[in-house]
Chains A and B, each alone.
Chain A
Amino acid sequence: MKKQVTGQGTTQAWVWVLALIAAIAMPWVFYNYHTGRQSGFVISMLSQMGMMSILALSYNMLLGQSGLFSFCHAVFFGIGGYATIHFLNLAGGGALPLPLEVIPLLSGLSGLGLAIVFGYMATKQRATAFAMITLGIGELMTTAALMFHHFFGGEGGVNSNRVIGHSLFGFKYGPAIQVYYLILAWTVISALLMLYLTRTPLGRMANASRDNFERVQFVGYDPRMVRFLQFALSGFFAGIGGGLYAITYEIVTFDALAAPLSANALLMAYIGGSAAFGGPILGAVLITLLQSGVSLMSNSWLVYVGVLFITMVMFAPQGIMGLLAAHGPIVRAGRFGRLLVPYLRVIVPALVMVLGFVGVVELASFLTIGAAQGKSLVLFGSKIDEHAVMPWLAAFVCLAAGTFWFSIEARAFQRVWDGLMAELKPQRSIA
């Protein structure tokens, strides 16, 4: 038993090492030999994935690990960003003799400082009251960002130049690829530190107070103190993410601390899977892909994110990581092969259903936003008239037929799945 557990742990560690190697190699996969440069789009997307991973992981210190629903997490990301712009300006002017590589540490400390102040207020409560207070904090800071021009620069935000001419390794950090590797390094450091935290007394008591805050008191801990420390530390890491954001874009506006980004942190942690440590990274990668990839192709990408979120909440509350983990026993028993055909049989109708849904959404969107932008819907090189009946009919038929077909196949899949689970059960109880 014990051996098996460590075996799983090592497999997981290897998956993450491979993911890291992929992250290092990715810019060179999209290397353009004509221009002799990496793809700017890919690098910017990868950079975004890095900082969003930090944001989502730090958010999950609250959501998944402590059972706290925060609606103001972006505040600490944002303050890290704003502070970093000022640090960069100071460093560029020679007043702050620090290499660029360590500036994210200061960003983290800025996040920590603010999280100590707000955490003191919010963590007096838990559950719904806590969520309400954080909602208030989020609104408060958004307003403050627009009011106090000196620090936040109003609507235009504040900007700086990341080329401060001071580096530990002699990099200039002009080219985006260098910044990407800086982000990657800080992402790995932050993720490892956060993983470490989950294996300390505080991290464990945060889990305990998530499960049963009352019992925590009767083993000698003050659950409020546990929440406070966990909140403050999560603010530290969010601040690091914000610092990297500032270094990348060299401008920070109130978007970096406003509610939509807080909601994004929640989406990423939840969709990726808040029960597993690495889940939020998956969520961050997926949401960033949707955000940067799909948003190029479609005006309605937010609709897809929203539908994905609702689907996950309804059918896979454990997130993507939970879905993957559910396959663990089947794969280990060597019976995954028996799921292949059933999977194929649900995926085909699912694709038809999704196609129909996308068709309806896109037709609707081109009828309204697209028309206003003077764009038209082009599919496989031919123009599609969103006022004609045929495209609408085709989309609706796809959606309806796909949904019907899918519901039948999904039930069949469920039977196969339950059968497999029943077969595996006796084995598991022996183990």
Chain B
Amino acid sequence: MTDTALSLRNVNKSFGPTEIIRGVDLDIRKGERHAIIGPNGAGKTTLFNLISGRFPLSSGEILLDGTRVDGLPPHRINRMGLSRSFQITSIFHRLSVFENLRCALLWSMGYRYSFWTPLWRQRELNEKTSLMLEQLNLIWRRDTPAGLLSYADQRALEIGMTIAGGASVILLDEPTAGMSNTETDNAVDLIRRVSKDKTLVMVEHDMKVVFDLADVITVLVYGQVIASGPPQAVRANPAVQEAYLGSLAA
């Protein structure tokens, strides 16, 4: 209907008397790679929690492909094609890497709550899962319980589970946090590959990653958008320089 994948209209969120998100308006076009940056405590993760349905809004509207999704539970929003990752790795730690990815594929492939379908005989599902393992470079960890993976591998799995279901809008919350330089390069490479033809929104602290990946950057400070636009424009914006990039620009 529109070429806007995700749209936020005057979104507000308070916890008690504390206003965390204050009147955010944001339009994210289809196929865009959009980075949300801002100092600690600016409300970036909270914004993700609102979009993905983890927290209810205090006021405002969120539209996914033109349909209102605010007020819906997370699983419903997920089924409508929005998927997110977590800043603190959120995986099924006792299940193997293979099972983790398979779980992330099940709903999108129409298995629902079936208790009569034998998983081991679902050829397409299992092949798709194996393909994901290859894409993530986790094929050698196939049968390892996810909780025993190295940190970088867990992060890769986290991203894999987020994109496995074929969602068209992907939210990544600090996908490279805590990684070494090499690991970060690999992660950026992975994100670039898997977000092809998808709308990507990410929260990221690493400016190199942001300028590497993003088409559009939004700067969030104290729950308000102070600038939004192409990287060069944002970099040149004096308000941004003052509020956030100050030290970098100097």
Contact = CB atoms under 8 A, between A and B. Distances in A.
Contacts of B93: 211-212
A274 to B, nearest CB: 12
Contact of B104 (A207, A219, A225): A219
A203 B104 CA distance: 14
A429 B93 CA distance: 19
B95 A219 contact: no
Contacts of A197: 115
A199 B79 contact: no
Interface stretch (B13-21, B84-92, B176-184, B194-202): B84-92
A141 to B, nearest CB: 25
Interface string A83-107: 0000000000000000000000000
Interface string A206-218: 0110111011111
B92 A201 contact: no
Contacts of A221: 75, 106-107, 113
B74 A201 contact: no
Interface string A168-200: 000000000000000000000000000011011
Interface string A1-38: 10001000000000000000000000000000000000
Contacts, number: 100
A208 B90 contact: no
**Most B CB within 10 A of own CB, among A204, A208, A215, A216:** A215
Contact of B52 (A5, A203, A218): A218
B73 interface: yes
A256 interface: no
A233 B143 CA distance: 28
A207 B119 contact: no
A336 B104 CA distance: 40
B64 to A, nearest CB: 14
B114 interface: yes
Interface residues of B, number: 38
Contact of B118 (A199, A216, A218, A226): A199
A233 B115 CA distance: 10
Contact of B90 (A5, A215, A222): A215
Nearest to A67: B94
B202 to A, nearest CB: 16
Nearest to B100: A208
Contact of A217 (B78, B94, B106, B119): B78
B168 interface: no
Given A1-B143, A218-B78, A220-B79, A200 B90 contact: no
B118 A222 contact: no
Given A1-B143, A201-B115, A212 B106 contact: no
Interface of B: 52, 54, 73-75, 78-79, 83-84, 86, 90-95, 99, 102-104, 106-108, 111-120, 143, 161-162, 164-165
Given A212-B91, A218-B78, 15 more contacts: A197-B115, A199-B119, A199-B120, A200-B114, A204-B95, A204-B99, A205-B106, A211-B93, A212-B93, A215-B86, A215-B161, A218-B84, A219-B78, A220-B108, A225-B113
